[in-house]
Structure 1
Amino acid sequence: MLGGIILLNQVCVLTVKVDDIKKAVEFYTNVLSFKVSKYYGEKLVSLIHNEIPIVLEETEPFDTETRQSVLFGILSENLDKDVEALKAKGVSLLFDEPQPCPPGRFTIIKDPAGNQIELVEFSS
């Protein structure tokens, strides 16, 4: 935050929702030639990418016609302050409080069209 202005304009991660993590890793590594950076348990894998990290996350099967399958994350330097400022502006949040994740904490907001955007604060 700079002088009370929220600075949420730096994309820091791209999450791809998949229904089978093993098949997804096989596709992204063998077909598209990505390399695995790190496994965060059985359902979350980070791929090596020069600019923005790409994360594959296994979720329950869903209809991609009605549900978003790619989610981009925006860097937050202070998630608690940003959440309060966004609430004050009437932004729709999926969680009342930031949630833990392997690299730190996150929350998800919705844009006016209902698209989900992840806000991520990395642990020091």
Structure 2
Amino acid sequence: MLNKVCVLTVKVVNLQEAVEFYTTVLDFKVSKYYGEKIVSLVHEEVPIVLEEVETTNSGNNVLIGILSNDIQLDFNAMKSKGVKVLFDEPKPCPPGSYYIIEDPSGNQIEIVEFSN
């Protein structure tokens, strides 16, 4: 079942500035760097990830991540239900694999399977 939030991703245009803001203004701590473009913050319940992108767009800069226990099964189910899926197949990511769907309003939702 796809009903457990497992991550919130905040898309930012400058990772260094975002880390500075989240750590000094909001008192978060950095948990881990995943290369030069992704940082996870320490948060007890749902992990918060900052991801650097070239540009942000209004209204779609925070992505909710839903936990999948079988990403390929869930991917196929989304396709068969006619859900708008933005990828041809799940893609690898630092903690495992993911794909993105859109709700009827165009909000993007990440479906994530942890394997690492």
Q: Report the TM range for the smaller structure's normalisation.
A: over 0.9
Gaps of 5+ in 1: 1-6
Aligned partner of 2:83 among 87, 91, 95: 91
**Secondary structure of the structure 1 residue equivalent to 2:72:** helix
Deviation at 1:106, TM superposition (A): 0.2
Number of the residue aligned with 1:43: 37
Q: What is the distance in 1 between the residues matched to 2:108 and 2:6? A: 15
Q: What is the distance in 2 between the residues matched to 1:95 and 1:13? A: 19
Number of the residue aligned with 2:46: 52
The residue type equivalent to 1:88 in the other structure is S
What is the CA deviation profile of residues 17-59 of structure 1, one whole-angstrom value per residue up to 9, with x for unaligned ones?
A: 0000000000000110000000000010000001100000000
Higher Rg of the two aligned structures: 1
TM-score of the two chains, using structure 1 as the length reference:
0.91
Q: How many residues align?
A: 116
The residue type equivalent to 2:112 in the other structure is V
Q: What is the distance in 1 between the residues matched to 2:70 and 2:57? A: 34
Deviation at 1:61, TM superposition (A): 1.9
TM-score of the two chains, using structure 2 as the length reference:
0.97
Asked whether the 8 Å contact 2:5–2:64 carries over to 1, the reply is: yes
**Secondary structure of the structure 1 residue equivalent to 2:44:** coil
Asked whether the 8 Å contact 2:11–2:56 carries over to 1, the reply is: no
Q: What is the distance in 1 between the residues matched to 2:49 and 2:40? A: 4
**CA 1:111–1:41: 2 relative to 1, 3 Å:** same
Deviation at 1:62, TM superposition (A): 2.9
Q: What is the distance in 2 between the residues matched to 1:62 and 1:52? A: 22
**Secondary structure of the structure 2 residue equivalent to 1:81:** helix
Number of the residue aligned with 1:31: 25
Which stretches of structure 1, 4 residues or longer, exceed 3 Å deviation after superposition? none
Number of the residue aligned with 1:104: 96
Percent of matched pairs sharing the same residue: 65
Deviation at 1:63, TM superposition (A): 3.7
Q: What is the distance in 2 between the residues matched to 1:83 and 1:42? A: 28
Q: What is the distance in 2 between the residues matched to 1:96 and 1:47? A: 30
The residue type equivalent to 1:74 in the other structure is I
**Secondary structure of the structure 1 residue equivalent to 2:36:** coil
